[in-house]
Amino acid sequence: MPELPEVEVSRMGISPHVTGQTVTDIVVRNPKLRWPIPEEIDQIKGQVIRRVSRRAKYLMLETDAGYAIVHLGMSGSLRILPADTPPEKHDHVDLCLSSGEMLRYNDPRRFGAWLWQSGEGEHPVLGKLGPEPLGDGFTVDYLQGRAKGRRTAIKQFIMDNQVVVGVGNIYANESLFAAGIHPKREAGKVSYQRLALLVDEIKTVLAFAIEQGGTTLKDFKNADGKPGYFAQELQVYGKAGQPCPRCDTALSEAKIGQRTTVFCSHCQR
């Protein structure tokens, strides 16, 4: 499933092509995605897309009448194509633009979403989300307040979207290794100083992934539109059994919250 950096790079990729364009039509071939596509999404017709923004893993196509919400799910992708490009299997939504191009949404597993929010209100899917990890609201004081008394493993804790959004499995593994915190340690028992380091490392790891994706970003007119995972120099994720890059101890693997977790039993405590 695409994580926050991949979704942010998708935003960067489509934004220059859709911002300022008028929506001339929206074609929904299959409304049965993760949630049914609401008929109200037709309100986007005739509207100018003012901005493409992101909240957690949701992309928002903002107009004066409201905003469309797009989630890539597990297999969704977005491409900019000529408006007359014939659809292929799994091409579920086309957003036709005044430029003569369209934004096409493809999703083989149909676990993504297209939703609509009229006016300036907040859609329910966005209502209970925690702060953005790269925003000013994600601080050590905030994290310590949320962690107080919690016996949940710190890895599960930082992957909870009600605590902080967008810290998926890859980036949770990497951030905890960088901060030297054992992923099974209870969230409420991590010291203030170590939580401060964890906040810094989460910001660093995610910002680096976005930067790396941005520098290698393909034109979404020519690329396949799949954000994928960037060719990062991952320290631990996917490297169980290999030597720790710090101490050469063989990296351990465990399941935490049914997610694969790789860590160094010597460096992380």
- Enumerate the known binding-site residues for DNA: 90, 109, 150
Examine the residue annotation and report whether 3 is marked as an active-site residue of this protein: yes
Examine the residue annotation and report whether 184 is marked as an active-site residue of this protein: no
Classified as helix, coil or strand, 19 is: coil
Which runs of consecutive H residues, i.e. helices, occur in the chain? 4-18, 140-147, 154-158, 169-179, 192-215
Q: Spot the catalytic one: 2, 5, 183, 227.
A: 2
Examine the residue annotation and report whether 246 is marked as an active-site residue of this protein: no
Binding residues, by number, are 90, 109, 150
Residue at 159: amino acid letter: M
Residue at 194: amino acid letter: R
CB 125 within 8 A of CB 116: no
Task: Kindly state the tokens that stand for 82.
Answer: 């000529």
Q: Spot the catalytic one: 34, 57, 104, 146.
A: 57
Q: Rounded to an integer, what is the distance from CA 137 to the centroid of its chain?
A: 18
Which runs of consecutive H residues, i.e. helices, occur in 19-149? 140-147
Q: Spot the catalytic one: 11, 185, 226, 259.
A: 259
Q: Spot the catalytic one: 3, 62, 101, 174.
A: 3
- Residues involved in catalysis: 2-3, 57, 259
